[in-house]
């Protein structure tokens, strides 16, 4: 329905959506809540990175909350970046958001991003590849596979992000990632094995451990 209407509300803001991006979901608002809880100084000029920016709903919402901050959004899909740019312009945030084409599976992919950052966020692909076809038809048939396919065990993107975290974050910087149901324990271990300090997950309205917070 969101693709038909061409728009979906997220955190009270209107976001353009096309089949090039995931439809923003209420569960993802948990990540915004987590960022505001961990970084209560809304006047600080934070530097924010969104990995897999998609429609821009996470990055642009954070920039709207942190009025003096700037952000970078990375995506491998040029079509998704076009949507994010349109949303940045519509929300009056284009001057504070830099959108970059890049693939985090490329060697030293983080070098073009201009880090390190105070806050790194991501809603990465976390569906096990073999199960994508069994998702609800409106997801499996219409939403972009690139944003769904998390590899054989659904955790491939988290390993990539964890391995690059030291290059992406300032000391004491925060990393917030969205997770699928039942993945929190495994993701937390991946982060700890890469030297990150992991805190208790933030739960969504359904009681699912939805956002994993870590610090560098």
pLDDT (tens digit, 9 = 90+) per residue, 38-59? 999 999 999 999 999 999 999 9
- The DSSP H or E segment spanning 122 is strand 117-122
Return the half-sphere exposure (C-beta side, CA atoms, 13 A cut-off) of residue 114: 13
Asked if the bond preceding 116 is cis, omega within 30° of 0, the reply is yes
Q: Residue 49 maps to which CATH number? A: 3.40.50.150
Cβ neighbors of 71 (< 8 A, separation 6 or more) are: 47, 48, 49, 50, 59, 60, 62, 63, 96, 97, 98
pLDDT higher than 60, residue 124: yes
Q: Taking each helix axis as running N to C, give the angle between helix 29-38 and helix 57-65, from 0 to 180 degrees, rounded to the nearest 10.
A: 40
Residue 152's domain comprises: 2-215
Instruction: Work out how many domains the chain is built from and give that number.
Output: 1
Predicted TM-score (pTM) of this structure: 0.92
pLDDT above 90: percentage of residues in the chain: 80
User: For the residues 111-140, what does the mean pLDDT come to?
Assistant: 78
């Amino acid at each position: 329905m969101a693709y038909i209407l061409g728009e979906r509300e997220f955190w009270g803001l209107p976001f353009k959506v096309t089949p090039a991006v995931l439809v923003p979901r209420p569960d993802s608002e948990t990540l915004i809540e987590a960022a505001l809880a961990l970084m209560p100084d809304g006047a600080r000029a934070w530097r924010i990175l969104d990995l897999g920016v998609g429609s821009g709903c996470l990055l642009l919402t954070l920039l709207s909350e942190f009025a003096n901050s700037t952000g970078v959004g990375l995506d491998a899909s040029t079509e998704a970046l076009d949507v994010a740019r349109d949303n940045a312009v519509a929300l009056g945030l284009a001057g504070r958001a830099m959108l970059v084409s890049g693939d985090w599976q490329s060697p030293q992919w983080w070098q073009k991003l201009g880090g390190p950052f105070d806050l790194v966020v991501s809603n990465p692909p976390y569906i096990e590849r073999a199960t994508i076809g069994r998702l609800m038809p409106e997801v499996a048939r219409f939403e972009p596979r690139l944003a769904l396919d998390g590899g054989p065990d659904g955790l491939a993107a988290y390993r990539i992000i964890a391995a690059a975290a030291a290059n992406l974050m300032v000391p004491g910087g925060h990393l917030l990632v969205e997770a699928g149901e039942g993945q929190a324990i495994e993701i937390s271990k991946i982060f700890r094995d890469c030297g990150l300090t992991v805190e208790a997950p933030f739960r969504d309205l359904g009681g699912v451990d939805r956002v994993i917070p870590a610090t560098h």
